[in-house]
Structure 1
């Protein structure tokens, strides 16, 4: 279903329709399935796959962001520790590592009243998508420091999260 600009302002749009429209409004490439939409976003560090999956029978919208990081077996212990340290700092969503494939991802879910007739507002959509992108962008360097920079998870977190003050 292709929606126009006025649909972004409505609060009665089905969750996957709203995500699809959000991706389209930003000019992001995306594909739509019956209960799923997959898009891509070019961030500062990498291109992210963004995936929304709707489970109407449960009233749940799962939102996933894949930062194109695969973890080899020899780095999994360090990445699990890194994920634990990062997740302690998150209020919404979490990072995880899929054990079967070594794929790192950010996951969040929203419970939406209405079952099969549920709707997603623009504000909810923005929070799901922008939070996922922001957290992936913020912590991408941490994962790279552990995977490629030879840093411990604590060192990587400290190095990546230094706040710069003032202007150069």
Structure 2
């Protein structure tokens, strides 16, 4: 059992900190030793957030699945759209799993620690929120390509129009 001082630390093992973060937001989640999965409702769709801790490499791999599956006939256009989208990103990237056609956002974070690798609450928040933000930002691009009949360039232009003022 953790003593009070250990429990109140501002950082924790990466999966433990993500579990605390998800619980604080009231998000449904499941955890085992080195993996945690949460469900989060976005403005476009529900996202599955999956984090996997690789102790031997001190890497936390974070995946966000925006519930988009791509049929074989739309894959070439989606690969082009993903390429255009990834040019806009500083951290992380979108990819399409070839075996299943599942679209995802992936980011890996190196977590070093002298004795025990730990993740701060601020880092956990940045990791999670940036993944959700990028999924929300680019979800319309992928939908325009898949369902709107737009080319990837048209989809990018239509989805990234920034509105000025208020209606």
How much does 1:34 deviate? 1.1
5+ long unaligned stretches in structure 2: none
- Which residue does 2:84 correspond to in 1? 85
- Which residue does 1:17 correspond to in 2? 16
User: Residue 60 of structure 1 contacts residue 109 of structure 1 at CA under 8 Å; is this kept in 2?
Assistant: yes
Cα gap change, 1:63/1:115 in structure 2, threshold over 3 Å: closer, same or farther?
Answer: farther
User: Residue 11 of structure 2 contacts residue 17 of structure 2 at CA under 8 Å; is this kept in 1?
Assistant: no
Distance 2:110 2:78 in 1: 29
- Which residue does 1:158 correspond to in 2? 157
CA root-mean-square deviation: 1.9
SS, match of residue 91 in structure 1: coil
Structure 1 runs of 4+ aligned residues shifted over 3 Å read none
- Which residue does 1:139 correspond to in 2? 138
TM-score relative to the length of structure 1: 0.93
- Which residue does 1:48 correspond to in 2? 47
How much does 1:10 deviate? 2.7
SS, match of residue 74 in structure 1: helix
Distance 1:139 1:12 in 2: 31
How much does 1:116 deviate? 7.4
5+ long unaligned stretches in structure 1: none
SS, match of residue 60 in structure 2: strand
CA deviation map 1:89-119 (0-9, x unaligned): 0001000000000000000010011387200
